[in-house]
């Protein structure tokens, strides 16, 4: 029951984060620089998620759900942090629209993680599973997938977050 939701949540986060980038400064990045940032953030995202969400696999029953709340809130904070960094970028023109969509998608995803944390804290299994299932078809997920597709069309190599 929870493992299915956990798998869905992890995959969706990696899909959205697979298309994000971090950088400092306000000068417009070149295509190659932006690609370099895409590659870098993919690795950072997987590391952050692995550490924040490692507790998900250890939940064996409803009584252990509240122990997930802190991890889910930390993951949401990490996603928001990536959105903030991404929002500071000045991407090349061919990635600007997709970059904005990714920021929005990440913020929506962080909100969903906070909803999951609240459900876990309250031992609300039905809500936990509902939010987990909704992540598959959420606006954030769709927007993240659309942004990744736009980046691919513009010639960027963007992982789908599942190692492909």
User: DSSP 3-state assignment of 25?
Assistant: coil
Task: Enumerate residues 6+ apart whose C-beta is below 8 A from 115.
Answer: 127, 131
- The pLDDT of residue 14 is 54
Residue pair 82/41 in contact (Cβ under 8 Å)? The answer is yes
* Residue-level pLDDT, tens digit, the chain, 164 residues: 445 555 555 555 555 554 444 444 569 999 999 988 877 777 777 777 776 677 677 777 788 889 889 889 988 998 898 888 888 889 999 999 999 998 899 899 899 999 999 999 999 999 999 998 888 888 888 998 999 999 999 999 887 653 33
- The pLDDT of residue 13 is 57
Q: What token pair was written down for 98?
A: 């997709």
Task: Enumerate residues 6+ apart whose C-beta is below 8 A from 142.
Answer: none
């Amino acid at each position: 029951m929870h493992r299915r939701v956990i798998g869905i949540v992890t995959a969706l986060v990696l899909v959205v984060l697979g298309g994000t980038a971090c950088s400092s400064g306000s000068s417009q990045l070149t295509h190659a620089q932006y690609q370099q940032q895409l590659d870098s953030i993919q690795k950072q995202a997987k590391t952050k998620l692995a550490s924040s969400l490692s507790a998900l696999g250890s939940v064996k029953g409803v009584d252990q759900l509240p122990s997930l709340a802190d991890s889910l809130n930390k993951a949401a904070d990490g996603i928001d942090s990536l959105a903030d960094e991404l929002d500071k970028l000045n991407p090349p023109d061919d990635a600007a629209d997709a970059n904005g969509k990714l920021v929005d998608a990440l913020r929506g995803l962080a909100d969903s993680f906070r909803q999951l944390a609240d459900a876990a804290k309250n031992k609300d299994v039905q809500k936990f599973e509902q939010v987990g299932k909704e992540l598959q078809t959420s606006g954030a997920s769709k927007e993240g997938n659309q942004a990744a597709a736009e980046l691919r069309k513009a010639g960027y190599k963007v992982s789908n977050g599942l190692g492909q």
